[in-house]
Amino acid sequence: MGVHVLSIAFGVPAVLALSLSRDRPTLGFTTDRSNRKQLFHRLYPPLRATTEHNQALFWPASSLIAESIHSDAFNDDTLDDDEKLLTSTLDSVVKVYATHSEPDFLIPWQKKHQTTSTSSGFVLDVPGVGYRVMTNAHSVEYGSVVQVQRRGDDEKHAAVVEAVGNECDLALLRVDSLFASSDASSRGNGKTYALPLGPLPPLQDEVEVLGYPAGGDSLCVTKGVVSRIEMQEYAQAGARLLSMQIDAAINPGNSGGPVVNENLEVVGVAFQGLDEESIENVGYVVPSSVVLHFLEDVRKYKKYKGFCHLGIDVCFLENEAFRKFLKLGGDHGNTVNGSGGGSEKKSKRSTGVMVRRVQPTSGANGILRSMDVVLAVDGIPLGNDGKVPFRRGERVDLGCYVTSLFEGDIVRLTVWRDGQEIEVSFPVSPIKSLVPSHFNNKPPPYLICSGFVFTALSVPYLEAKGAWSDYYTDNISYLLSLVNEPLKQDGDEVVVLAQVLAHRANLGYENLYDVHLLKFDGVEVRSLGHLQELISQSSGPFMTFEFAPKDGGHERSITVVKFNFDGDLLFTGSKDHTPSVWRSENGERLGTFNGHKGTVWDLDCCRFTKRVVTASADATAKLWNCETGECIKTFTHHGPVRGAAWADGSNMFATISDPFVEHNAQISVYDVPENDDPSTYSDSPRLEIELPKIDGKRVNATNIVWLNLNEALFVTFDNGSIRLYDPVTGEELEEFFPHEKKINRVSFNQDKTLFITSSADFTAKLYDVVDLKHLKTYKTDRPVNDAVISETKDHILLGGGQEAMSVTTTSGKVGKFETRFFHLVYEEEFGTVKGHFGPINALAINPNGRCYASGAEDGYIRLHYFDKSYLDMKDPVPEGPIDGEEEFDEDDEEEKNNDEGSDDESE
């Protein structure tokens, strides 16, 4: 179920200011029969024969109730006068007032603020049920108070919602005070008669919409013609049913009003309009055939049962090669070899649809198979486009016929299977969804255990989370993918952890939300009720909840995120052993590089994104083909590989490995041939640099980067130092100590003239690459895990947070896992961006400067796009030194020379 194109013509809230329509509707009826006929003149004669045939074909079960409703319409001899007939028709249209008390699907034990609406309805006489008011389901959804008011009456009558069909957006109201007797006596106008139901009108037939839309209080009549009749999605519940489109506007308040033909018969019920500003006067109507099906359910079962489906997902066969593959021949003369002796078989028919999947809970389960081709349903031939004949010159989706059947009806299918035609049959039934589109006006279920709030996933829950908006979280993206999943067995639900209420038992889990619960204590959870049973039966000292892995992230914490040179791809590494590549435009995962057996600490790709090198705790560095995802070569090291860096414009890369057993930390430089043939690669590096002990202690390198023109290897260490090495000789060129504690990450701007270090000492420091001059310091109240330099702004982005092992304490820094924005020159923090519920381990800014990526301990990668206000923001220009500091001017060579040799303490 995608984004709704259709918007419900819902009743207008009483508190809103209304604007009048541009066209003032006029009453289209006159007291003269000939004039009325002329007013409703058809552009061509009705297709009486085909209409009668199609009624018998598509709605056989509705004929009895249709005849009963129609024949009882105008039995009273007093209604010979056209004026009384017209007056009684208009008097049958009522205004519906509703007060809605909708539950809060995010806080399921609460209700939202009440809202009010007005809509329309009309009187029907349902055989075996009595006089009822019909309106739309959405008009009375979660209605705590429902009232109806007749035309010209000052009294509002209390109504009871007796039956609701959300799929067809219809509802029946019982109004005892309005229909005190079986003849529905009225005030002042003699009798109020139930409106009769008429047949489906032909295209271009003129119709009129009666109701109480926005723009006034009195009854409104608008005129239009029937534009098309086809299957459409009903916005109320997302079901696809037959719908009639007319060119009369259906505005808020028209919902539930009757649409009548020239004989004053109801041919449909207004229910929704087209949500397009550029398109006017397009309205959608629930046709009389769907209304009859709804009423037949109520008559037979005293409640709405639903519309049936075959329970299969199909694939159209409009491709000729596909039809040949499935051994379809027939009219097109395509022949296929049979299974024996070179004999040939032809299918009698050449059109149909292929079964892609059978719903486990449908009657077709065990009868139809994947790859079956359905040729006909109850003798009705099926086209390659999934449509069947409807009326002369018209075709509709197969669902039009299937939804006309009732629960338990037997359907007979002609199927092409394994080169031969067979007949199968099974009962049809309404298909329930794994993720329901509604709760039938009941509050959503929920269960609270130790502060964990569980609920059943539903479309209203996803809507409340903004699932069909332009922006939604990765968790919601995963839950959204379950909407079209089949129901494996009746009663199954998707149990979701909606939120966590603070409690001493759930410390450290406060930020879990919107995650799918798979198992409890190792047992698969089928539904919310099943979870309650499992919890009540649990007797161990601990309760274990197992959730589904997240979409849009890794299963474990993120270690590195990097954009390629062009910024269209994002590469990520994680403790789940699987580096991945994503499309930076929309966050789509393009693939994973499978093969490591340990944490992937670092990665880097070459200039043209043809190859990527990864560094892992499994003591290997692997070279991958970016296009195929294949591992070209594995390079074994003595210890865990901490970092990897690709040389600029050259076929070589460097790695750093941790000390292990008797081996010290080591830098390795490898040559990379142009081809992907592993036999042409050397297992040994062309250069190895062993990092000696300092004061008798082994050192651990944390990052490695090539400087411009590959003139030096830039390496950071856990003792707060930085060293530069000659990539040819291995000689140490320089060493300095920017920090007192571990340097977690180092990042450069795109032209590598500036670099910034991130440290566990709660600071990030900006340096000039040429002379290694310290320029700025950005101070925080917690460890800084990564920092990046904006390519388009004088801004610095910092990420970090409290150590992962301490996030369950009551420290004031708990939960501060946002990206922090600092001004590059002023060193002042001016903004934060939240989103993660764990320390941010890695940051990367897109080379185009329009977005950045963050990866955290929570296992999520988030792509943040800067809005227009940020991109257009102008930073103030300082007039002089700030807070007594020297004014920085990187073009002032004299100042650089004077300051050469200054250390951090002079800052």
Q: For residue 390, give the nearest of 203, 238, 258, 247 by alpha carbon.
A: 203
Higher pLDDT, 318 or 335: 318
Rounded average pLDDT over 94-107: 94
What class, spelled out in words, does domain 308-337+345-430 have in CATH?
A: mainly beta
- Alpha carbon distance 135, 122 (integer Å): 7
Answer for the pair 208, 221: CB distance below 8 angstroms, yes or no: yes
Whether pLDDT at 32 is above 60? no
Q: Which residues are known to be catalytic?
A: 138, 169, 255
Please list, in sequence order, all residues whose beta carbon lies within 8 angstroms of the beta carbon of residue 322, skipping any fewer than 6 positions away.
354
Q: For residue 11, give the nearest of 248, 236, 216, 255 by alpha carbon.
A: 255
Rounded average pLDDT over 506-520: 86
Where is mean pLDDT largest: 255-269, 467-481, 690-704? 255-269
Residue 317 phi/psi, 5-degree rounding, is -120, 50
- The CA distances from residue 626 to 589, 705, 772, in Å, are 13, 21, 35
- Alpha carbon distance 790, 391 (integer Å): 64
Q: So what's the pLDDT on residue 16? A: 28
- The CA distances from residue 26 to 209, 220, 262, 724, 754, in Å, are 11, 8, 16, 86, 74
Answer for the pair 210, 257: CB distance below 8 angstroms, yes or no: yes
To the nearest whole percent, how much of the chain has pLDDT over 90?
55
User: How many CB atoms sit inside 10 A of residue 63's CB?
Assistant: 13
In single-letter form, the type of residue at position 581 comes to: V
Fold of 446-547: N-terminal domain of MutM-like DNA repair proteins (3.20.190)
Please list, in sequence order, all residues whose beta carbon lies within 8 angstroms of the beta carbon of residue 809, skipping any fewer than 6 positions away.
none
Q: What is the pLDDT of residues 571-581, one digit of tens each?
A: 999 998 999 99
Confidence class for position 191, pLDDT limits 50, 70, 90 = low
Q: For residue 707, give the nearest of 689, 688, 726, 690 by alpha carbon.
A: 726
Considering the chain, tell me which residue range(s) the CATH 2.30.42.10 domain(s) occupy: 308-337+345-430
Rounded average pLDDT over 552-556: 69
Rounded average pLDDT over 803-828: 67
Confidence class for position 276, pLDDT limits 50, 70, 90 = low
- Alpha carbon distance 212, 250 (integer Å): 10
DSSP E strand boundaries for 275-418: 283-287, 308-309, 312-316, 336-337, 344-345, 353-358, 373-377, 380-381, 387-389, 395-397, 410-417
- Alpha carbon distance 500, 824 (integer Å): 38
User: How many CB atoms sit inside 10 A of residue 877's CB?
Assistant: 6
Confidence class for position 707, pLDDT limits 50, 70, 90 = very high
Structure token pair of residue 91? 């008097």
Whether pLDDT at 3 is above 50? no
- Alpha carbon distance 810, 808 (integer Å): 7
| Residue/partner pairs of 808-813 with CB below 8 Å, 24 or more apart | 808/507, 808/508, 813/781, 813/782
- Alpha carbon distance 782, 799 (integer Å): 10
Confidence class for position 23, pLDDT limits 50, 70, 90 = very low
| DSSP conformation letters of 646-700 | EPTTSSEEEEEE--BTTBPPEEEEEE--SS--GGGS-SS-SEEEE---BTTB---
Q: What is the pLDDT of residues 359-384, one digit of tens each?
A: 999 999 999 999 999 999 999 999 99
Helix orientation angle between 288-301 and 63-71, rounded to the nearest 10 degrees: 100
Q: So what's the pLDDT on residue 86? A: 75
Rounded average pLDDT over 837-865: 89
Please list, in sequence order, all residues whose beta carbon lies within 8 angstroms of the beta carbon of residue 277, skipping any fewer than 6 positions away.
none
Q: How far is CA 38 from the centre of its chain?
A: 50
Q: For residue 784, give the nearest of 771, 770, 796, 769 by alpha carbon.
A: 796
User: How many CB atoms sit inside 10 A of residue 151's CB?
Assistant: 18
Whether pLDDT at 35 is above 70? no
- Alpha carbon distance 1, 236 (integer Å): 12
Length of the chain: 907
Reduced 3-state DSSP string for 774-839: EEEEEECCCCEEEEEECCCCCEEEEEECCCHHHCCCCCCCCCCCCEEEEECCCCCEEEEECCCCCC
Considering the chain, tell me which residue range(s) the CATH 3.20.190.20 domain(s) occupy: 446-547
End-to-end CA distance of the chain: 59
Sign of the CA dihedral 283, 288, 289, 293? positive
Candidate from 71-85, 137-151, 596-610 with smallest mean pLDDT? 71-85
Q: For residue 413, give the nearest of 341, 354, 344 by alpha carbon.
A: 354
Answer for the pair 69, 195: CB distance below 8 angstroms, yes or no: no
Rounded average pLDDT over 635-647: 95
- Alpha carbon distance 124, 817 (integer Å): 60
Q: For residue 852, give the nearest of 817, 815, 819 by alpha carbon.
A: 819
Confidence class for position 888, pLDDT limits 50, 70, 90 = very low
Confidence class for position 248, pLDDT limits 50, 70, 90 = confident
Where is mean pLDDT largest: 78-92, 266-280, 398-412, 588-602? 398-412
Where does residue 906 fall: left (phi above 0), alpha (psi -120 to 50 degrees), or beta otherwise?
Answer: alpha
DSSP state of 197: B
Rounded average pLDDT over 94-121: 94
Confidence class for position 482, pLDDT limits 50, 70, 90 = confident
- The CA distances from residue 437 to 155, 468, 484, 889, in Å, are 35, 14, 11, 62
- The CA distances from residue 169 to 30, 258, 265, 564, 749, in Å, are 32, 14, 20, 50, 58
- The CA distances from residue 592 to 169, 441, 568, 576, 624, in Å, are 45, 44, 16, 11, 11
* Enclosing H/E stretch for 35: helix 33-39
Structure token pair of residue 693? 């002990």
Structure token pair of residue 757? 């270090």
Rounded average pLDDT over 542-546: 89
Confidence class for position 187, pLDDT limits 50, 70, 90 = very low
Q: Pairing between strand 515-520 and 784-789?
A: unpaired
* Enclosing H/E stretch for 702: strand 701-706
Q: So what's the pLDDT on residue 810? A: 37
- Alpha carbon distance 454, 106 (integer Å): 10
Q: For residue 854, give the nearest of 433, 561, 491 by alpha carbon.
A: 561
Whether pLDDT at 200 is above 80? yes
Structure token pair of residue 743? 């340097």
- Alpha carbon distance 388, 401 (integer Å): 8
Candidate from 68-72, 175-179, 543-547, 876-880 with smallest mean pLDDT? 68-72
Query: Across the beta sheet with 840-845, what order do the strands follow?
Result: 840-845, 851-856, 861-865
Higher pLDDT, 34 or 277: 277
- Alpha carbon distance 785, 761 (integer Å): 10
- Mean pLDDT across the chain: 81
Confidence class for position 820, pLDDT limits 50, 70, 90 = very high
- Alpha carbon distance 544, 540 (integer Å): 10
| DSSP conformation letters of 611-626 | EEEEEETTSEEEEEET
- The CA distances from residue 291 to 62, 429, 731, in Å, are 10, 18, 86
In single-letter form, the type of residue at position 487 comes to: L
Answer for the pair 639, 663: CB distance below 8 angstroms, yes or no: yes
What class, spelled out in words, does domain 6-301 have in CATH?
A: mainly beta
Considering the chain, tell me which residue range(s) the CATH 2.40.10.120 domain(s) occupy: 6-301
Please list, in sequence order, all residues whose beta carbon lies within 8 angstroms of the beta carbon of residue 374, skipping any fewer than 6 positions away.
312, 314, 352, 353, 354, 355, 368, 382, 413, 414, 415
Rounded average pLDDT over 794-802: 89
Q: What is the pLDDT of residues 442-465, one digit of tens each?
A: 999 999 999 999 999 999 999 998
Q: So what's the pLDDT on residue 803? A: 55
Identify the residue whose tokens are 């550029």: 278
Flag whether the pTM goes above 0.75.
no
Confidence class for position 532, pLDDT limits 50, 70, 90 = very high
- Alpha carbon distance 614, 596 (integer Å): 9
Residue 668, beta-bridge partner list: 655, 688
To the nearest whole percent, how much of the chain has pLDDT over 70?
80
Question: How many Cα atoms within 13 Å fall on the side-chain side of residue 535?
Answer: 13
DSSP state of 530: H
Candidate from 108-117, 273-282, 536-545 with smallest mean pLDDT? 273-282
